[in-house]
């Protein structure tokens, strides 16, 4: 198999406080192949968006990467200076944020912003950059792009603004896009359009996409593989169909059970009791999910489970590991 485009290995992120460092990401590892859409799913606070920011080199103090590696096409990028990271952001990795209004300057037309971004990364004249901007707007589904290129951000609907943001991300022709909750602020019909757009761009351009979301429906529709995160750790990864239909980790099973279907009629959707733990001042010496898990047994509350490979899947759960000596199920 070819080497992955992006490889995250044992990533650990901490936030310094007066009471000591708080661990936000702990031992996070996953790969993204070329042309693959990896869905990263979990509750709010699981560490999904923070992982994307770490990949982009956008974690601000007091947060910092304290250990682990982030490799882009075999080159380590987590320890690069800000000047060198600017050469990677845009041309190699781009990010799509949740709210398009935070990515668009209301004082400039969308065309001006696209042209400026294109010329920052490519040696094109203003006219050539404008033509490329028009082409990008058409590619992401903006109607009449020759006219809309001179429109202001407030003249677009939410869905159209998100398409403009996707066009901005495509300006430098990156290899990887980190999409952080790109459909959360949109209604259901527009969500489906944005999902189809991301899938088409990944297929036609050979883009790799890291799709961060809390919506398993979006993951099931868009991703090739899925990584389930809980309390700053990846608890299960695998092909999306296998995880959706036969999740191995109890937390992943709970997420899948909460997806409504037309096949069964239920009075109430399934829910996971309790809430996610707060950030801890040090590595948790146990499974963070054990207080909410109805399958827990003795080692879960005292020993963190290792990651077990099972075919093309990985899971961190004692249910799939030999029981430690002295522990009972």
- C-alpha to C-alpha distances, 59 to 22, 82, 85, 99, 107, nearest whole angstrom: 14, 11, 12, 18, 27
> What per-residue confidence (pLDDT) applies to 323?
60
Which of 292, 291, 287 minimizes the C-alpha distance to 320?
287
| Helix 188-205 × helix 158-170 angle, to 10° | 20
Tokens (6 digits) for 96: 């799509």
181: left (phi over 0), alpha (psi -120 to 50) or beta: left
C-alpha–C-alpha distance, residues 219 and 242, integer Å: 12
**Where along the chain do its domains lie?**
100-173
Beta strands in 186-328 (DSSP E): 208-213, 225-230, 233-239, 308-310, 313-315
Q: Greatest CA span in the chain, whole angstroms?
A: 73
> What per-residue confidence (pLDDT) applies to 279?
82
For the chain, list residues with pLDDT below 50: none
Q: Are strands 37-41 and 225-230 parallel, antiparallel or unpaired?
A: parallel
> What per-residue confidence (pLDDT) applies to 231?
92
Single pTM value for the model = 0.90
């Amino acid at each position: 198999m070819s080497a992955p485009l992006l490889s995250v290995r044992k990533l650990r992120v901490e936030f310094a406080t007066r009471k000591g460092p708080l661990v936000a990401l702990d031992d996070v590892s996953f790969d993204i192949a070329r042309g693959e859409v990896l869905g990263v799913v979990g509750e709010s606070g699981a560490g999904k968006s923070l992982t994307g920011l770490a990949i982009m080199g956008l974690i601000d103090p007091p947060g910092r990467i304290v250990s682990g590696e982030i490799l882009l096409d075999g080159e380590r990028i987590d320890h690069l200076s800000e000047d060198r990271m600017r050469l990677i952001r845009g041309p190699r990795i781009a990010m799509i944020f949740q709210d398009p209004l935070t990515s668009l300057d209301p004082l400039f037309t969308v065309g001006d912003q696209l042209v400026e971004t294109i010329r920052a990364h490519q040696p094109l004249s203003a006219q050539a950059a404008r033509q490329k901007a028009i082409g990008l707007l058409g590619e992401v589904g903006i109607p009449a792009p020759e006219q809309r290129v001179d429109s202001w951000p407030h003249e677009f609907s939410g869905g159209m603004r998100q398409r403009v943001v996707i066009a901005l991300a495509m300006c430098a022709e990156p290899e990887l896009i980190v999409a952080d909750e790109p459909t959360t602020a949109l209604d259901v019909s527009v969500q489906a359009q944005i999902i189809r757009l991301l899938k088409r761009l990944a297929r036609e351009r050979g883009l790799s996409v890291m799709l961060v979301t809390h919506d398993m429906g979006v993951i099931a529709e868009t991703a090739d593989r899925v990584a389930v995160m809980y309390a700053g750790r990846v608890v299960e990864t695998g092909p999306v169909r296998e995880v959706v239909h036969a999740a191995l980790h109890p937390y992943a099973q709970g997420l899948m059970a909460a997806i409504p279907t037309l096949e069964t009629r239920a009075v109430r959707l399934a829910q996971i009791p309790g809430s996610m733990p707060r950030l801890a001042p040090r590595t948790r010496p146990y499974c963070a999910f054990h207080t909410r898990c109805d399958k827990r047994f003795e080692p879960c509350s005292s020993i963190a489970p290792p990651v077990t490979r099972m075919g093309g899947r990985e899971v961190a759960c004692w249910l799939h590991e030999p029981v430690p000596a002295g522990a009972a199920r």
